[in-house]
């Protein structure tokens, strides 16, 4: 977590006890595309955790992005293999990456940084 993100977590109200904090942290980890979680993502998770219920479209988009990141990590950024695993052709897979502003090389590099 970036310093400002930690400050946001520290000053947030936690009426739902530790379970609510754990949910926010897990959501941030699941949604991040970076080794450092920023304040914006923490604020987003906090607002969603309090009263926000995503629309079906938002939930699908969130799942789709997480799925793409996971399949790219599994294939170490190999788009051809990732597309095959996802049951898509490469062109469609690249369109999905673009839709979610993802780069296969970036996802693979982030995975290597964590090792």
31-84 pLDDT, tens digit per residue, is 888 889 999 899 888 887 665 566 788 789 889 999 999 999 999 999 999 999
Domain co-membership, 29 together with 62: no
Domain co-membership, 44 together with 9: yes
Domain co-membership, 88 together with 60: yes
pLDDT for the residue 16? 64
pLDDT for the residue 6? 92
Q: What is the DSSP string of the chain?
A: --HHHHHHHHHS--TTHHHHHHHHHHHHHHH-SSSS--HHHHHHHHHHHHT----HHHHHHHHHHHHHHHHHHHTTT-HHHHHHHHT--HHHHHHHHHHTT--HHHHHHHHHHT-
Q: Give me the domain span that covers residue 33.
A: 3-50
CATH number at residue 73: 1.10.10
Q: How many domains, in total, are found in the chain? A: 2
Please enumerate in sequence order all residues whose Cβ is within 8 A of that of 1, keeping only pairs 6 or more positions apart, or say none: 9, 28, 36, 37, 42
Mean pLDDT value across the chain: 87
């Amino acid at each position: 977590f970036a310093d400002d993100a930690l400050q946001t977590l520290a000053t947030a109200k936690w009426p739902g006890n530790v379970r609510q904090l754990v949910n926010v942290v897990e959501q941030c980890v699941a949604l991040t595309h970076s080794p450092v979680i920023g304040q914006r993502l923490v604020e987003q998770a906090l607002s969603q955790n309090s009263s926000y219920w995503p629309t079906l479209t938002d939930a699908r988009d969130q799942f789709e992005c997480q799925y793409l990141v996971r399949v790219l990590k599994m294939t170490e950024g190999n788009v051809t293999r990732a597309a095959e695993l996802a049951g898509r052709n490469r062109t469609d897979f690249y369109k999905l990456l673009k839709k979610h502003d993802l780069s296969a090389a970036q996802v693979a590099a982030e995975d290597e940084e964590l090792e």
